Amino acid sequence: MVSLLNEKPIRKLRNMKINSDTPHKARVEALRSKKTLGEWLEETIDEKIEREQKKVK
């Protein structure tokens, strides 16, 4: 399956063990940003990766 927005393949995530409040907080922030949870998570993860890579340099 290919997303029409960014034409990248969409892959389903595996189960993750995370704090039970985190998915709710993420959903709230996604709604505030007028994005889907998936879009918001993808953007947030990409931003975190960029920050970590800048620290290494």
- Domain boundaries along the sequence of the chain: 22-56
Residues 1-49 have pLDDT tens digits of: 445 555 667 777 678 888 989 999 999 999 999 999 999 999 999 999 9
- Say what the pLDDT of residue 47 is: 96
Supply the pLDDT for residue 2: 46
Q: What is the pLDDT of residue 14?
A: 76
State both tokens at 55. Answer: 């620290």
Q: Which residue has the higher pLDDT, 1 or 50?
A: 50
